[in-house]
Structure 1
């Protein structure tokens, strides 16, 4: 009973913290969906990634800190503090406790939603992995810093894939339809995705979205995808020396594809997103190339949050208990 109550209380705490932080960062994200930072898409993508991961970092940090005192007591590293405050809710798995009905309902619902959404992510990952494996088994790898897997026949693909083993899927049908300059533009764009580690960032953002309000998770993903595409367009323009050439390749690939291929799931696809806006940015040379710092920024935030939580475990534990007592 104590373990079940502890689980439901932690689930409710994580959900409440995630919702509160989502509401706090939502106004900042709205600025990025307009014209703010339009000329620096890499920075816009980084900020969207950091904002999208903040609810998860806050939720996990607070819950981990709040769970530390009872865990330390169970391991004999600290005195059992529960006997000293029987006036409010206990966040503890050592002692049997009566979980309040409303708190149990919120915790159970939050846990069910989390597991359902997590199951959807796992299902999509497995499905995409199976499709990629089937395609690559037919393809021929070409060596390079980012290997190109040449896939025979249709559909027309030019995708950056791989969380660790980064590579580009290129279909023969698309390669044959492009001029050498257009193909170089498309590949430069996909290589930029891999340098930025956009497939990995997309997965991390999706996992972090499990702790955020759904509206914020969707918005952060949309802003990050759009900004990442624009940033890779800018890098491709620098690589080939002509933004107009990249814009022309975008239009041609979009016309050849006609509709977005579903083969590689959410993997970045050349020519697949917001074509008109990206072409205008390329032709006007508005987007500037800047270095991406998403992983380093998120890592710094994680480290800072972890150190703060570690230094204030007793305070956070008591604060969570008091908050749950007042709310439920």
Structure 2
């Protein structure tokens, strides 16, 4: 009976507090400015991609349709995290209600999962374009493209809703428990639970395999066929153009899947909270920041479209 009372008293946490990056005011202000500038750059870069894909007729193709959707996802993905993070940087005692934490986790994991599925869809699009160019327009119709985007979002929402509900039915220890992170991510929140989490860890690994391992396997298989097809191209310039397009996509894939796999698929016994926090900075800030840069600076069509769009804007 005494143990039950103690557990009950520990399980009534209604708020969490994030672990501070620093408690020194000068460093807090520097970090706030740094993360705010990163966030604004991410927003500007991805909005630019969406704008140029929407306004430039030559980019109205499935490849750039998926790229525009990916940029929109990156904007939503970072917006779920950064405003709360900036508030916590300035006020180390600022708490987040458990309900808000659950919402942040759901949207963060759902958008992140959709991002991973979308990268797999983009790999499939490149596979069809390079390996089956004559059938490309028959396979990648606008209806098919729309269904692929909806499917990515729907599957991710379903998986992450189940995971989030499972986690937030757990009791949490103490008054205002401290999350050793800057967002309500799954592993650090699970560590605060006052109950056995073996089932929840198993579900987390299962979702991680479906969201990370399966799409990465599909991307790898697609690129085996793509590379084989590219090597059969006789024109040196044609091979260079094909490799350039695919290498941009692969750079994003390696960063996204590599960092996320280390956080979500690594055994709990070998994981470190501080390492997870650093890795989360990469897929929260670095990948969304590099995405528009990689696709715009390494893509001739996007660069030309940006120049034309900027010229039209300046003339008007």
Q: TM-score, normalised by structure 2?
A: 0.30
Structure with higher helix content = 2
- Between Structure 1 and Structure 2, whose CA radius of gyration is higher? 1
